């Protein structure tokens, strides 16, 4: 079978299922962070990537904006509360990175405190990695023109829940957001929690690229070959 067939949508989904099962068997958790601009298809990518995964070993957290800020608790408390047990695959949308950008927009975090918040994120990810958690981060990138086009399309179709105040601000202050996104990626792109910056101009290609990167990442970290695992399963060599 050629590479194209091995990396078909169905086969990638099956391989992710096998890798999820292997990680759970090894009591290894994997945290997948989906970040980037608004209207880049994070929900669609999540649905496609987790289609074959075991829901008992999967958790997704995507806080609504009203959950983003509570001064009574530490900066990252909302996320600590949702950390799953060992052996769970955890997809995080609107992560601690969004938490900072939302805080700036909502004037809950002062600009002079942004560096402190970013270092707090760096320390958290290092702590998680030191505990054996596998972390991989995706940043989905689109142009200002495409972002504006998608927001207008969503509004025209009456999908008002897809167009928030911050989404519109991203268009208005696109250059500022670009610099901010670059800053936090540069600071937190670490071997134990790498960033993968992907173009989200073509949703279908982005979905496939995310799954291929996830498969490669998990195979390397778990020391297995998911394609061999699939062949063994078909041949009845493993259960």
Listing DSSP states for 30-43 in one string gives EEEEEEESTTS-HH
234 within some domain:
no
Reported as a pLDDT band with limits 50, 70 and 90, residue 237 is low
120 within some domain:
yes
Reported as a pLDDT band with limits 50, 70 and 90, residue 195 is very high
* pLDDT, position 1: 61
Cα 19 to Cα 23: distance, rounded to the nearest angstrom: 6
Render pLDDT for 66-111 as a digit per residue (tens, 0 to 9): 666 666 777 788 899 899 999 999 999 989 998 877 777 667 777 7
236 within some domain:
no
Which range has highest mean pLDDT (4-8, 51-55, 93-97, 228-232)?
A: 51-55
Cα 57 to Cα 131: distance, rounded to the nearest angstrom: 18
Provide the 3-class DSSP secondary structure of residue 21: helix
Burial of residue 239 (CB within 10 Å: 0-12, 13-18, 19+) is exposed
112 within some domain:
yes
123 within some domain:
yes
189 within some domain:
yes
* pLDDT, position 233: 80
Q: How many CA atoms lie within 13 A of 18 on its CB side?
A: 23
Quote the number of domains for the chain: 1
User: Could you say which DSSP state residue 67 is in?
Assistant: G
81 within some domain:
yes
Cα 23 to Cα 187: distance, rounded to the nearest angstrom: 28
CATH of the domain at 116: 3.40.50.300
The pLDDT > 70 percentage for the chain reads 93
Of 51, 45, 52, give the one whose Cα is nearest residue 230.
52
Is the model more confident about 99 or about 20? 20
Cα 7 to Cα 99: distance, rounded to the nearest angstrom: 34
Render pLDDT for 198-212 as a digit per residue (tens, 0 to 9): 999 999 999 999 999
Q: Does residue 236 register a pLDDT over 70?
A: no
Domain, as residue range, for 184:
3-228
233 within some domain:
no
Q: What does the pLDDT average to over 106-132?
A: 85
């Amino acid at each position: 079978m050629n590479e194209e067939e091995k990396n078909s949508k169905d086969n990638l989904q099956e391989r992710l299922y096998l890798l999820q099962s292997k990680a759970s068997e090894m009591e290894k958790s994997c945290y997948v962070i989906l970040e980037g601009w608004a209207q880049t298809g994070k929900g669609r990518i999540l649905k496609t990537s987790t289609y074959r995964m075991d829901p008992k070993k999967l958790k997704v957290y995507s806080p609504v904006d009203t959950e983003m800020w509570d001064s009574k608790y530490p900066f990252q408390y909302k996320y600590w509360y949702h950390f799953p047990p060992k052996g769970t695959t955890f997809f995080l949308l609107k992560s601690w990175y969004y938490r900072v950008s939302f805080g700036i927009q909502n004037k809950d975090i002062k600009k002079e405190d942004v560096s402190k918040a970013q270092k707090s994120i760096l320390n958290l990810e290092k702590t998680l990695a030191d505990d054996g958690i596998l972390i991989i981060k995706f940043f989905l990138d689109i142009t200002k023109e495409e972002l504006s086009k998608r927001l207008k399309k969503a509004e025209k179709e009456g999908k008002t829940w897809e167009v928030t105040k911050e989404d519109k601000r991203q268009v208005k202050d696109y250059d500022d957001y670009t610099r901010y996104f670059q800053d936090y990626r540069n600071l937190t792109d670490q071997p134990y929690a790498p960033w993968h910056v992907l173009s989200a101009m073509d949703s279908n290609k982005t979905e496939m690229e995310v799954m291929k990167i996830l498969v490669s990442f998990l195979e390397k970290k778990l020391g297995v070959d998911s394609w061999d695992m699939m062949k063994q399963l078909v041949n009845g060599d493993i259960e």
